[in-house]
A and B are shown apart, each in its own frame.
Chain A
Amino acid sequence: DIVMTQSPVSLPVTPGEPASISCMSSQSLLHNNGYNFLEWYLQKPGQSPQVLIYLGSNRASGVPDRFSGSTSGTHFTLNISRVEAEDVGVYYCMQSLQIPWTFGQGTKVEIK
């Protein structure tokens, strides 16, 4: 199985400041179509997950442009340019290149 390792586990943030979450995969997620099969989800408190980023760096419909995804080999980063209070929750990365599709353990973002 491809293991997804996120860091940090917990991230206190200040509104208006930038934040980043790391996700490392145990194997390459690069498909032969040139895309990395890596997705980012945010699960706000008491809610179902919602997609933020797919194929490594594509922002999903309706997602604010303060969210961006980047890739360097097997290291993936979710960046928030300016954190807002509504961004609190648990962030998950997920790979869908290889069965079983696997999630990271989550990064809990909370306001300082």
Chain B
Amino acid sequence: QITLKESGPTLVNPKQTLTLTCTFSGFSLTTGGVAVGWIRQPPGQALEWLATVYGNENKLYSPSLRSRLTITKDASKNQVVLTMTNLDPVDTATYFCAHRRTSNFDFWGQGTLVTVSS
């Protein structure tokens, strides 16, 4: 049974750095065919893909956010970490991590709401 859960701060000050952790179980992130991605959703708005890391260390980023994002994996801890720098109120959103295999995000975490405000 595959599960994922996001964790991190719920409130971040503008210009600070956000670190989100996705802790997963039920699969191993060590092969190229498996990946974990991050997707966010501002309140009442559509989904936005941010980044994906594959088990073979291949990493994909949204070009518009590339300078601010870093995605890393720790397969031994079953974790994927997303770091986003220089936060702005427009980054307020629910952040989801999701398991990806066979060209789809088939399992999702519950999401974590991050509010950027002073």
Contact = CB atoms under 8 A, between A and B. Distances in A.
**A and B from one assembly?**
yes
Interface of A: 35, 37, 39, 41, 43, 48-51, 54-55, 60-61, 92, 94, 96, 99-106
Given A37-B103, A94-B49, A103-B46, A48 B108 contact: yes
Interface stretch (B10-18, B21-29, B58-66, B85-93): B58-66
A94 B105 CA distance: 10
A30 B96 CA distance: 27
A55 B103 contact: yes
Nearest to B52: A101
Contacts, number: 58
Interface residues of B, number: 22
Closest 5 CB pairs of A and B: A54-B104, A48-B108, A101-B49, A100-B62, A103-B47
Interface of B: 39, 46-49, 52, 60-64, 96, 98, 102-106, 108-111
